[in-house]
Amino acid sequence: GAATPGRIGDLHLAADIAHLIASGVWLGGLLPFAIALLLASRGGISPQSAGEITRRFSNLATVGVALIVLSGIVNSWVLVGSMSALTSSLYGCLLLAKIGLFAVMVGMAAFNRIGLAPRLMRETPLAARQLAINSGIELGLGLAVFAIVGVLGTLQPASHHHMAPTAD
Q: How far apart are CA 54 and CA 74, in angstroms?
A: 30
- pLDDT beyond 60 at 161: no
What pLDDT score was predicted for residue 160? Answer: 60
Residues written for the chain: 168
- 61 contacts: CB under 8 Å, gap ≥ 6: 25, 26, 29, 109
Name the amino acid, one letter, at 69: V
How many C-beta neighbours within 10 Å does residue 55 have? 13
Looking at per-residue pLDDT, the higher value among 162 and 9 belongs to 9
DSSP 117: G
pTM for the model stands at 0.83
Across residues 144-162, what is the average pLDDT? 84
Looking at per-residue pLDDT, the higher value among 120 and 167 belongs to 120
**Is residue 86 a contact partner of residue 80, using CB atoms and an 8 Å limit?**
yes
> Please, which pLDDT band fits residue 39 given cuts at 50, 70 and 90?
very high
What pLDDT score was predicted for residue 163? Answer: 45
Report CA 110 to chain centroid distance, whole Å: 13
Closest-CA residue to 25 (of 17, 37, 36, 15):
17
Output the CA torsion 33→57→29→11 (10° steps): 170
pLDDT tens digits, one per residue of 105-143: 999 999 999 999 998 878 888 999 999 999 999 999 999
How many C-beta neighbours within 10 Å does residue 87 have? 12
- 91 contacts: CB under 8 Å, gap ≥ 6: 79, 80, 85, 152, 155, 156, 157, 158, 161
**Is residue 41 a contact partner of residue 132, using CB atoms and an 8 Å limit?**
yes
pLDDT tens digits, one per residue of 13-34: 899 999 999 999 999 999 999 9
What pLDDT score was predicted for residue 70? Answer: 96
